[in-house]
Structure 1
Amino acid sequence: MPDGLTHEKFSHPDVTARGETRASVALRQLETLWLNTGTLCNIECANCYIESSPKNDRLVYLTAADCEPFLDEALDFGTREIGITGGEPFMNPDIIRICEMALERGFELLVLTNAMKPMMRPRVQAGLLDLQRRFGSRLTLRISIDHYTKECHEEERGPGTFQPTLDGMAWLASHGFRLAAAGRTMWGEPEEEERAGYRALFERLGVDIDVNDRARLVLFPEMDDGGDPPEITTDCWSILNKNPDSVMCSSSRMVVRHKGAERPAVQACTLLAYAPEFNLGATLEQASRPVKLNHRHCATFCVLGGGNCSG
């Protein structure tokens, strides 16, 4: 090892490879509680951060009974929003009931979906329409549409995935659902140009999304497992002029159920569902302790990339 290195990068919870104090992030306020309803998905993207696919069940379906105690505990934490992610959430048999439970408790609800066949099944459509009628704008569906062109979207999501997503999005818009969208920045085009492309697409579909609202059109940086990202030290906050309160784990946690586990667990964030060192406990109270930024994604996606799954 070069002089000054005592261990491998991202291997020690408290100290970087150069012996500096590793940064951590305190839970300022649990604004968003994420429920990962399972990693099974109807498609397999080329670069899915959680490796969702038709075969990946490393995170099994959360049931409504699994979710209930966490929703009740989130009320005590003053949580504003419940986020639902996967996998494809609409593959979960309990998805409509889980959504209903969150909305009945007064939370705002954000559901991430590819808007394809699982969402377009008649039973699911009927359930969504009922939720829309009863809870209106407190329900937002955020559609994963990686690019405004078919070619780039299908480069990531596979052949035949673009039009079904547009069809699902148009169905939601026609019934007055509040919509948002999530894209990627992997093609390197200027942000203004990318947002203009989405604007033209949404206007053609009759979809009401303000593309300049970064919570309504979220453009995610890529998470690269290669390269040599820097470790985040306590000095980085002042060097980067960045407030740790802006990092995702200062305001969110995610509930998952690992395959074979007796009960759900709370992970530090949506990006690190499989990392045991980011498993913070079985309750939100246990998971309210600070998170040590001991992963390359903490650096590349959150601190340096500015990514935030809540937008």
Structure 2
Amino acid sequence: MSNSTFPIEFLLLAFTDTRELQLLHFGLFLGIYLAALLGNGLILTAIACDHRLHTPMYFFLLNLALLDLGSISTTVPKAMANSLWDTRAISCTGCATQTFLLVFFISAEFYLLTIMAYDRYIAICKPLHYGTIMDSRTCVNIVAAAWGSGFLNTVLHTANTFSLPLCQGNAVDQFFCEIPQILKLSCSDAYLREVGLVAVSAVLAFGCFVFLVLSYVQIFRAVLRIAPEHDQHKAFSTCLPHLAVVSLFLSTVFFAYLKPPSMSSSSLNLVLAVLYSVVPPAVNPLIYSMRNQELKDAVWNLMTVFQK
């Protein structure tokens, strides 16, 4: 490979060189992947089939489940295949596709989580106006805006990243194609353009994060003013799971993409990648159904139907 060219293929990070541990990794990721497919699939089916869940909150949750299925299906199957077949290679086209899909699903999920916080704010702080503000057309439009904004953001970052000349080899220090790790392979100063775009995206994301935090401050103030303990419990049961998902997702994504180079290491990068790309899609169904009796009942009824 010459000094300013693009490689034909990339070499992804191997979890281990020991065959037994590779098979263990395959089995672990297979279990996580199947759990994510089952959990998100049950949520999708339950919301689609139960007319009682045809509300804005569950419409947003349905879209979150779709995004979770997409994000985990982008990274985990390839990692499992590499461990099973003892290989590290991924084609340039495959790497670009993986990067595009992952950034798309993560970006859209971030925007959707912000929308879900706004939905809870309207439902709790302005309940009399909820039906007017969050009507079906508005819900469809803002969800479409989240998906569309994620797509535009992804096109910009993927096109810019894969137009950079690479002269630092083709070994990606991650188990999937991740933009920060690809930038490490670029020629000196060539990567600054993408770093600038990442910084702009981070500023926009921080604005959404501030909006999200302010929404929850207002939500908790309103909930604490609610006299009946039952109403407080119901409000917290819909807000706390969302806050837990947002906290895990945003903290790991921000740190993975914005941490200083001096803090970079293979083990840290690996842990962060697993925390933001693998764990949330697998645990989100459990988090959202654990304290939500309506969703829990719908999933249970669905499983009962399957057993008959």
TM norm structure 2: 0.26
Of Structure 1 and Structure 2, the greater strand share is in 1
Of Structure 1 and Structure 2, the greater helix share is in 2
For CA contacts below 8 A with separation 6 or more, give which structure has more relative contact order.
2
Which one has a bigger Cα radius of gyration?
2
